[in-house]
Amino acid sequence: MTYVIAQPCVDLKDKACIEECPVDCIYEGQRALYIHPDECVDCGACEPVCPVEAIFYEDDTPEEWKDYYKANVEFFDELGSPGGASKLGLIERDHPFIAALPPQNQ
Ligand code: SF4
Ligand code: SF4
């Protein structure tokens, strides 16, 4: 199981969640953040600090945002398990599903 970042984060990225994560597993893409499904320890610390309620426990992700689970997982297909987001900083790409979204939060 893992936590998932969904639509409200896209084009917002205020990064409040990053500071709460004890294992540094929230990675920054170009338009959204992504939680590493294997590195996340399901502590739940990130979820309440997101100002726009973009973070969900995998099983609680709203039906209309189920694709974001796939996006969070597949974003790491190329990266593998880096074991820490801060050393990577901004990763200048997004999962194709996120990249194809029209501008959000405007
Ligand atoms: S706190 Fe919410 S909106 Fe901010 S970066 Fe994290 S998931 Fe995105
Ligand atoms: S649930 Fe915990 S470990 Fe997983 S991303 Fe959130 S803060 Fe990090």
pTM score of the predicted model: 0.96
Q: By alpha-carbon position, which residue is closest to atom 6 of ligand 2?
A: 46
Q: Of ligand 2's atoms, which has the minimum distance to the CA of residue 43?
A: 2
Comparing C-alpha atoms, which of 72, 64, 51, 66 is closest to residue 2? Answer: 72
Give the span between the Cα atoms of 86 and 28, in whole angstroms: 9
Phi, psi of 26 (to 5 degrees): -105, 110
Q: How many CB atoms lie within 10 A of CB 25?
A: 24
Phi, psi of 18 (to 5 degrees): -55, -40
Give the span between the Cα atoms of 99 and 9, in whole angstroms: 13
Q: Of ligand 2's atoms, which has the minimum distance to the CA of residue 24?
A: 8
Query: Exposed/middle/buried for 23, CB within 10 Å: 0-12, 13-18, 19+?
Result: middle
Instruction: List pLDDT tens digits, range 28-81.
Output: 999 999 999 999 999 999 999 999 999 999 999 999 999 999 999 999 999 999
Q: Is 84 in the pocket of ligand 2 (CB under 6 A)?
A: no
What is the 26 CA–ligand 1 centroid distance (Å)? 10
Instruction: List pLDDT tens digits, range 15-27.
Output: 999 999 999 999 9
Q: Of ligand 2's atoms, which has the minimum distance to the CA of residue 21?
A: 7
Helix (H, G, I), strand (E, B) or coil at 101: coil
**Predicted pLDDT of residue 103:** 96
DSSP state of 6: -
In this predicted structure, the answer to whether residue 94 has a pLDDT above a threshold of 90 is yes
Q: Is 52 in the pocket of ligand 1 (CB under 6 A)?
A: yes
Q: Is 5 in the pocket of ligand 2 (CB under 6 A)?
A: no
